[in-house]
Amino acid sequence: ASSRTFPAAEVSYEVYLVTDDAFLDDQFFNKVAASLQGGATCVQLRLKHVSTATYVDWGEKVRKLTRDFGVPLIVDDRLDVALAMDADGLHIGGEDLPWKIARRLLGP
């Protein structure tokens, strides 16, 4: 589980950035940083078509940016990646790991 606490009730979802594989280029991190500088209040890292190693590597870099701005980082679908990179949360959809199992594995 994350070493930082972002209770859901305290997270601002006003400007919620969701990344996408279509924007994975040499400016990806600059774009995330610009979004944070522009006021993004939460970032969801959503990478559907990359290897686990790439997801964790890029995720750790995005996590550094979000921590610098005091903004929570949510990982899309991948509990293993969320745990590996010490993300602040996990987004799971209806076709993903059941939320009760995810909660048990992630902790409170």
pLDDT digits (tens, 9 = 90+) for 85-96: 999 989 988 888
Residues in the chain: 108
Query: Looking at domain 12-106, which CATH architecture does it have?
Result: Alpha-Beta Barrel (3.20)
Domain map (residue ranges) of the chain: 12-106
Cβ(35)–Cβ(43) below 8 Å:
yes
pLDDT digits (tens, 9 = 90+) for 63-103: 999 999 999 999 999 999 999 999 998 998 888 888 888 88
Q: Residue 70: CA atoms inside 13 Å, Cβ hemisphere, count?
A: 3
pTM, 2 dp: 0.84
Identity of residue 52? T
Contacts of 57 (CB under 8 A, 6+ apart): none
Q: Residue 66: CA atoms inside 13 Å, Cβ hemisphere, count?
A: 27
40/1 Cα distance (integer angstroms): 23
pLDDT digits (tens, 9 = 90+) for 10-57: 778 889 999 988 878 889 999 999 999 999 999 999 999 999 999 999
Contacts of 93 (CB under 8 A, 6+ apart): 77
